[in-house]
Structure 1
Amino acid sequence: MDEPDTVAILDHVLGPDSGTEEDQETSVTCADIEENSARCSKPPFLCLRPVTVEPVLFFSTFSIALQGPLFTQYLWDRISEEVGYNSSRRSDCNSSQAIDPLQKEVETLVAHWNLYISLGGLSLGLLVVPFLGSWSDKAGRRPLLIIPSLGLALETLVYLVVIYMRLPVGYFLLGRMISGISGDFNCILASSFAYIADISDQTSRTFRVAILESCLGLSGMLASIIGGQWMRTQGYLAPCWLVLFARLASALYSYLFVGESVLIDPSVRLLSTSHHKALWKLYSTGGSQSTGCFHKYKLWLYSFCFFVVVAVHSGCRELYVLFELSSPLCWGSELIGYASAALHMAYLSSLLGLKLMTRCLEDSWVALVGLLSNITGLLVFTAANTTPLMFTGYGMLVFFMMTTPVIRSKLSKLVDPSEQGALFASIACVETLCAMVGSSVFNSLFPATLHFMKGFPFLFGAIILVIPACVISTLKYLDQRRRAVT
C-alpha cells in the first residue's frame, strides 16, 4: 500500500497534527515506557516487541467474525421453531418447487430482527464514537482498547444467557446496546491504527499498518472455518464461549502488555462541541486549501461515494448468511463458515491488489477496479441458486475492498494537514451512518422482494454502486481537464 493510502487510513484516527515532524520526534516505542513515564502509562508487563496491538485487533476481529454467522443461524432456528417451520429445510431445497410460506415468514422475521438489533447498537455508537475518538488523543489509546473489549464481552454474556435460558430473542438488543454504548468494534479498530501511528516512523509505518490490516482477514478467515465446523458438531453454546474468551483476552492483553503511546492530559474533557464546529467549517467552506466551489464539491462528492460504497458493503454482508440458509441453497453451518472465510480472504487479496496496482495505475483506476469487482460479485449473487455459483460470486469479490482506502486517500489530499482530524472524525460518523442505512435498507428490502426475486437486494446494491463509479470517473476527467488548461 503506498504512503498516501496509508496516511489516509491513519488520519482517520489521528488528530490534526499527527503527521508533523514534532510528533514523529516525540513518538515512543514500548521499550521507552520506563524512560518516559510522563508520556507513557506503563502496563504491568513490558510489550512483546515487535508485537504491540496486533493481538488486540486479532482477538476482536476473530470474535466478531465468529459471532456474526452464529447469531443469524440461531435467530433462524429459534424463529423457525416458534412459527412451526421445519428447521431442517432439506425437503424445500429444490428451486423447482414452490417456497413454503412458513419459510418466507421466517426469512422476514429474521431480517427484521437483524435490523432492530443492528440499529440498537449502531445508533448508540453514532453518539459515542466521535466523543471517544477525540478524547483518546489526549486521554490515551489504552482506554479505547480496553473499554470496548469489555463492552463486547458483556454483549456476549447477554447472548449466552439468552441461549441458555431460551429467553425471547428481543433480549439480544440489550447486549447490542451495551456494546454500542462502550464504543463497539469501531473504537478498537481506530485505536489500533492510531497506536501504530504513534510508535512508528515514516519508514516502518507502511509495513506496520499492512500487518495490522492483515489481522482483519486472517482472524476473520480462521473464525469462519472454526465456527462453521464447531457449530455443526456442538451447537451454539461452545462457540459463544470462545467468543467471550477472545474478547476478554483482548481486554486483558491491552491492560497487561500495551503501554500508552500519547501524552495524557488529566484535564481533558470527554464531552465537547469543538469537533462539531470544526466539521461544519470544513464542509461549509471546503477547508483551508479550498480553491473555489469545485474544491468543496469534490469534498462532498468523494464523501458521498464513500457513504454509498460502505452502505452497500454493510447491508449486503448482513444478508449473505440469511440468503444461504434458505432455499434453494439451504446451506449448513459448515458451508456458511467456508463462505465467510472466502469473504474475509478478500481483505488480503485486496491489500495485495492495492499494493501492486498502485505501482502502475492512478488511484482513481484502482478504485474503479474495486467497484467493478464488487458489482460483478453482487450480480452473480443475484442469480445464485447453486453452491458453485454462490462461491463464484465470492470469487468475484476478490478486489472489492480496494475502493475505500483510495477514497480516504483522495479526501485527505483535499484538506490541510491541520484539518485531517476534523475530516476523519466526519468519516467515522459517516461509517456508522452507513451501517445504519445499509442495515435498514437491505434488511427491509429482502423480505419485501421475496415474492418476485430473492436476490433483488444484491441487484439493487450492484446498481447503486454504479453511481460512485460514475462520480469518480467524472471527477477524474474534470481534474485532467483542469490540469490541461493550467
Structure 2
Amino acid sequence: MNEEPHAHENLVAKAQRSGFADAEVASTGSEKNRSSGASAIVAGTEPPGNPQASRPQSLSIYLLEPFILILLFAYNFSSTVLKNEVIYQSCTAGFGYPDSVCQLLGTKNVTNETKRIEEQVQPYAAQVTLAMRLVECFIPAFCGLFAGSWADHYGRKPLLMCSFLGYGLQYLISAAIAYCAMHTQGLVSPWWYVLSIIPLSCLGSSVTYSVAAVCLIADVSDGRVRSYRMIAYELAIYVGLLLGSLGSGYAYEATDAYIVFSISAVCIFTAVFLMALLLPESLPARNRTLSTPSTGTGVIAMLKSLWSTYSKPREHQNRFMLTIIMVVLLLTAFVSDGSNSVFYKFMRIKFHWTVKQFTEYETVGILVPAVAGSGGVLFIWSLRKCTNSAILWLALVSLLSHCSSSLMKGFALESWQIYVAIGLGVFKSLVNPMCRTMITNLLPADERGKIFALLGVLQALSPLISSTLYVAIYTRTLNTEPGIFNVFSACLFGIGIILLGTVWHKKSRNLVYYEPVFK
C-alpha cells in the first residue's frame, strides 16, 4: 500500500502538497478499518518539501465520494444475501436435501427438522465462507505492499478503477451462480462462490481502492480542506454501508439472490463507466515515478526495511509503547474479522433471524456507533480539560464498550438483547483512530508511513488466523452454546484493556514527555 525515487518512505504513495493534517475517523467493520488505515498511512507520510502551486480544479474531482458510496452500497447490499446463498446451496447441493426443505432455512417457519438440518449444514457452509475469506485476504495483503508505488507510477484513477472492476466481476459471477442455482433447484455447489472472489482478490480488493482514494484526496486538497475531504470520504463509507444494509433485506424478500447480486454488479459497473468519463486523474504524468516495484527481492527488501524501522532502539521506551498499541489494533482487527465470519450463522441458529431481520440489525449496528460515537467524542473529549490522557481514555472506553457488547451477545437469550449489545457498543468505533493517533504522536513524520504500512499488512493477514479460529470455535460449540465465540471476543478485548493499562503505567513514569502524546 516500494520505494519512491528521491524517497522518504517505502510502501506509501506520495502526497503532492505539504501540511497534511492527520484525519482519523472512527470505523466500523473490515471495509472501514482498511480505509481508515490507508488514511493514516497517507496522513503520516507526506515528506517536507516545496508545495506545488495551486492549479484550477474541476468540480468533477468531488465525484470521488459518491463513487465510494456506490461501491460500499453495492458491497453491503449483497453481503448478507451471499452468506445466505452459501447456506442454502450447502443444504441442496452439499447435503442433497430437497429445495422445498432448504428454502425454509433462515425463515420463521422453524420446525425440529429444519433446526436439525441447519445444525448439520452450517459447519459445511462455514468452511465455504472460510475459504472465500482466506482467498480474499491473502492476495490483497500481497498487493497492498505495492499499491502505493503503483499509484505513484500509473496514477490514482487506474488503481481505483481496477478495484471497482474487481468488485463488479465478483457480483457478476455471483449473480450467474445464483441464477443457475435457482433454475436447478439449488443443485449448484456453493464452492463456486470461491471462484467469484478470485478477480476481486487479484485486483486488490479494499486495499487498492482505499489507497487510491486517499492519495487522490491528498493530491487535490491541502490544509483544512483536506481534513474535510477525509471526513467526507469516511462519511461516504458509512452512508454506503447503511443504505446497502437497509435495502438488502427488502430487495431479497421481493426478488431473488441473483437479482440482488445483479443490482450490485450494475451499480459498480455504472460507477466504473462514469468514473472513466468524468473523474479526472489527480496525479499529472510529469509527477509519476519512472519505475514500478518488482516482486521477489523487492518484497524481501521492503519487509526488511519495515522491520528495521519498527525494531530500531527508541528513547523513553517508545518502541515498547509502539508495540503495545500496535498489538491492540491487531486484536481489534482480529476480533472483527473472526466474528464477522460466523456472526450471521450464529443469529440464524440462535434466534432464527431472516435476511431482512439481520440486515435491519446491521443498519442499526452501523448507524448507532457512527452517530452516537461521534457525539460521544465531543462529550468525552471534554476530559482534556481535566486530564492529560484524553486519547488514552477514549481508547480504554472504546475497548470497554467492545467488551461489554460482546458479552451481551454471548449471553443473549432474546433477540432484543442483541440490540442492547449495540447500545453497549456505542463507543466501539473509537479505538482504531485513537490508537492510530497515539502511534502518529510517538513517531517522527518520516517513519509513520513504514509503521502504518507494516500494521496494514499484518491486519490484512490476520483473517488467515482469526477466521479459521472463529470457524473452528463456532463449529465445535454449535450444538451446545453457539455464542461462545462472543465470550472469546470479550476476553481478547479484555487483554487489550490490560495492554493499554500497561501503556498508562509507563506513561505515568514520564509525564512530561508523554503528555503531548496522549493529550
The two structures share one fold, judged by TM-score above 0.5: yes
Q: Report the alpha carbon displacement of residue 397 of structure 1 after superposing the two structures with TM.
A: 2.2
Give, as a single letter, the amino acid of the residue that structure 2 aligns with 1:284.
S
Change (3 A) 1:440 1:279: same
Partners of 2:108 and 2:39 lie apart in 1 by: 53
* 1:60 aligned counterpart, secondary structure: helix
Partners of 1:228 and 1:17 lie apart in 2 by: 41
What's 2:200 paired with? 179
Change (3 A) 1:339 1:441: same
Give, as a single letter, the amino acid of the residue that structure 2 aligns with 1:132.
A
Q: 1:100-122, CA deviations, whole angstroms, 9 ceiling, x for partnerless residues? A: 44221112112111111110121
* Aligned residues of 2:395 and 2:431 also touching (Cα < 8 A): yes
Q: Report the alpha carbon displacement of residue 443 of structure 1 after superposing the two structures with TM.
A: 1.8
Name which of 322, 347, 363 aligns with 1:341.
363
What's 1:391 paired with? 419
* Aligned residues of 1:27 and 1:198 also touching (Cα < 8 A): no
* Aligned residues of 2:141 and 2:207 also touching (Cα < 8 A): no
TM-score, normalising length: structure 2: 0.82
What's 2:133 paired with? 118
Partners of 1:420 and 1:138 lie apart in 2 by: 22
Q: 1:257-293, CA deviations, whole angstroms, 9 ceiling, x for partnerless residues? A: 322223542522132345323202112205xxx216x
Partners of 1:134 and 1:297 lie apart in 2 by: 30
* Aligned residues of 1:11 and 1:421 also touching (Cα < 8 A): no
Give, as a single letter, the amino acid of the residue that structure 2 aligns with 1:482.
N
- Pair 1:308-2:331 in alignment: yes
The unaligned stretches of length 5 or more in structure 2 are 1-19, 26-35, 182-187, 385-389, 515-519
Name which of 245, 265, 290 aligns with 1:224.
245
Give, as a single letter, the amino acid of the residue that structure 1 aligns with 2:366.
H
What's 1:48 paired with? 60
What's 1:477 paired with? 505
* 1:53 aligned counterpart, secondary structure: helix
Change (3 A) 1:467 1:253: farther
Partners of 1:317 and 1:201 lie apart in 2 by: 36
What's 2:280 paired with? 259
- Pair 1:291-2:315 in alignment: yes
Change (3 A) 1:12 1:295: same
Partners of 1:220 and 1:424 lie apart in 2 by: 25
Pairs within 5 Å for 1:135-284: 135-166=150-181, 167-263=188-284, 264-265=287-288, 267-271=290-294, 272-273=298-299, 274-284=301-311
Pairs within 5 Å for 1:346-425: 346-361=369-384, 362-425=390-453
Q: 1:144-202, CA deviations, whole angstroms, 9 ceiling, x for partnerless residues? A: 21111111111112111211223321121111121111000222122222222222222
Change (3 A) 1:391 1:98: farther
Q: Report the alpha carbon displacement of residue 98 of structure 1 after superposing the two structures with TM.
A: 10
Name which of 69, 72, 78 aligns with 2:80.
69
Give, as a single letter, the amino acid of the residue that structure 2 aligns with 1:280.
W
What's 1:457 paired with? 485
What's 2:24 paired with? 6
Q: Report the alpha carbon displacement of residue 423 of structure 1 after superposing the two structures with TM.
A: 1.5
* 1:207 aligned counterpart, secondary structure: helix
Q: 1:187-222, CA deviations, whole angstroms, 9 ceiling, x for partnerless residues? A: 212222222222222222222211211112211111
Partners of 1:183 and 1:308 lie apart in 2 by: 23
How much identity, in percent, do the aligned residues show? 17
* Aligned residues of 1:342 and 1:395 also touching (Cα < 8 A): no
Partners of 1:102 and 1:20 lie apart in 2 by: 62
Change (3 A) 1:255 1:349: farther
Partners of 2:22 and 2:147 lie apart in 1 by: 26
Partners of 1:343 and 1:112 lie apart in 2 by: 26
What's 2:10 paired with? none
What's 1:35 paired with? none
Partners of 2:283 and 2:149 lie apart in 1 by: 13
Q: Report the alpha carbon displacement of residue 70 of structure 1 after superposing the two structures with TM.
A: 0.7
Change (3 A) 1:465 1:301: same
Q: 1:395-419, CA deviations, whole angstroms, 9 ceiling, x for partnerless residues? A: 3222211101111111122222112
Equivalent residue pairs, number: 461
* Aligned residues of 1:12 and 1:427 also touching (Cα < 8 A): no
The unaligned stretches of length 5 or more in structure 1 are 33-45
Q: Report the alpha carbon displacement of residue 72 of structure 1 after superposing the two structures with TM.
A: 0.6
Change (3 A) 1:428 1:9: closer
Change (3 A) 1:81 1:457: same
* 1:276 aligned counterpart, secondary structure: helix
* Aligned residues of 1:47 and 1:257 also touching (Cα < 8 A): no
Partners of 1:119 and 1:222 lie apart in 2 by: 27
Q: Report the alpha carbon displacement of residue 252 of structure 1 after superposing the two structures with TM.
A: 2.5
Change (3 A) 1:404 1:485: closer
Change (3 A) 1:174 1:112: same
Change (3 A) 1:52 1:179: same
Partners of 1:306 and 1:378 lie apart in 2 by: 17
Cα RMSD, aligned residues only = 2.6
